[in-house]
Amino acid sequence: MGWTHHDLTAITGAPIGEGIITGYAFDAGGTRHVNFVSAHVGPQQQVTVHLHELWWHVDGSWHHEDLTSVAGGQVANCGNGYVFRCSRHLDFLGQGVDQLRWRRNGGWHHKDLLKASGAPFAYTGGAHGCPFVARGTQHVNYPDSIGHVHHLWRNDAGWHHEDLTEATGAPLAGGNAKGYAFEARRTQHVSYVGQDEHVHHLWRGAEGWHSLDLTAATGAPDAEPNRDCNGFVFPSHGTQHVTFVGLDHHVHELVHDATGWHHHDLTAIAGGPQTQTAPFGYVFAGTRRVVYLGADNHVHQLTWGSGSWADADLTAAAGAAPTVDGDPMGFEFASHGSQHVVYLNDAGHVIELLGAP
């Protein structure tokens, strides 16, 4: 597999970005999408935040769109994007927790999720959503100002709200709460780093919501505070995975299989450098991938295949400059057989690393 890099800011003429960046593929539409925010200074030195999308068309061209006006005109931060029922969804922080939905031939539509669900206004950090295809629902999680984890979910009857901290008695969150669905088992999962520096896992089955301290259950080291953990499912193996940064600045993985939860120090196993950012895990071509910014200021990828882990320096492989600002994240573009890692460099440009056969 060969890696190349593209400066999407230079290609599209998009403004300088900052903060969180997110990307995802829309396989049914043959497109891929990157979202981020930028700061704009007005005539009276008033700073406003704009929400942007860069998108790639199957003809090979990149495009830029400023979504601020359709997002209600007030944006605080970018959340994440995903596909649900052949439409695209982008969660973000505006006046509260908001969502943009794009439908073919219908364009973008804005929804105030707090108003729609009756959820409390207080929030910090970011809003992160995911689809649950098996149940025909979608879900958005966010922490409030004191660390309660809130869950917004939508079915055919509309949007609803649950305070998962109250429902489970789980410890308070110290960072963002990110969820995923285990489609084959029809269960729902939310992971976060607590104020106690432990990784906590909330999950819902047929009997309601439950809480588990994964750090205590696995003997894993404490997590670095103010860093997110990220969870995902590995469908071909029927396993769940949560990655996080330890106090030792190593990339750690918590794995759930038929025998329960286990801990692995991926930095020690693969021999990669320590991490400066929250590691982000995803699945590509039947393998597990974890990307992060190494202590050498290069983007690294840890790959699991054939039962072993290996480290790759993507910055060197793609010939990109070793300048990264923020957490890299990756995703699979299944319809094109490629994988993509996106991040902001220290000049605020959106950089894409593309891996293709």
Residue 357 is predicted with a pLDDT of: 64
DSSP per-residue string spanning 185-248: GTEEEEEEEBTTS-EEEEEEETTEEEEEEHHHHHTPPPBPTT---EEEEEGGGTEEEEEEEBTT
On whether residue 322 sits in a domain, the answer given is yes
CATH classification of the domain holding 158: 2.120.10.70
Structure tokens that stand for 88 in this block: 């695209």
CA 186 to chain centre: 21
On whether residue 307 sits in a domain, the answer given is yes
On whether residue 53 sits in a domain, the answer given is no
Dist CA 127 CA 124 (whole Å): 9
On whether residue 23 sits in a domain, the answer given is no
Dist CA 114 CA 121 (whole Å): 7
Tell me which amino acid residue 140 is: V
* 3-state SS string for 208-225: EEEEEEHHHHHCCCCECC
On whether residue 269 sits in a domain, the answer given is yes
pTM to 2 decimals?
0.95
Residue 74 is predicted with a pLDDT of: 87
Q: Is the dihedral of CA 61, 343, 195, 240 positive or negative?
A: positive
Residue 311 is predicted with a pLDDT of: 97
Residue 221 is predicted with a pLDDT of: 98
- Structural domain of residue 327, as residue ranges? 2-12+117-356
Residue 226 is predicted with a pLDDT of: 86
Dist CA 193 CA 197 (whole Å): 6
Look-up of token digits 């895990």: 281
Residue 1 is predicted with a pLDDT of: 62
On whether residue 242 sits in a domain, the answer given is yes
Neighbours of 193 (CB within 10 A): 26
**Domain count of the chain?**
1
On whether residue 278 sits in a domain, the answer given is yes
On whether residue 106 sits in a domain, the answer given is no
DSSP per-residue string spanning 12-54: HTPPPPEEEEEEEEEGGGTEEEEEEEEEEE-TTS-EEEEEEEE
User: Which of 321, 309, 318 is CA-nearest to residue 354?
Assistant: 318
Dist CA 71 CA 53 (whole Å): 12
Digitized pLDDT (tens) for each residue of the chain, 357 residues in all: 699 999 999 999 999 999 889 999 999 999 999 999 999 887 777 888 999 999 999 999 999 999 999 999 889 899 999 999 999 999 999 888 999 999 988 899 999 999 999 998 777 778 999 999 999 999 999 999 999 999 999 999 999 999 999 999 999 999 999 999 999 999 999 999 999 999 999 999 888 999 999 999 999 999 999 899 999 999 999 999 999 999 999 999 999 999 999 999 999 999 999 999 999 999 999 999 999 999 999 999 999 988 899 999 999 999 999 989 989 999 999 999 999 999 999 999 999 999 986
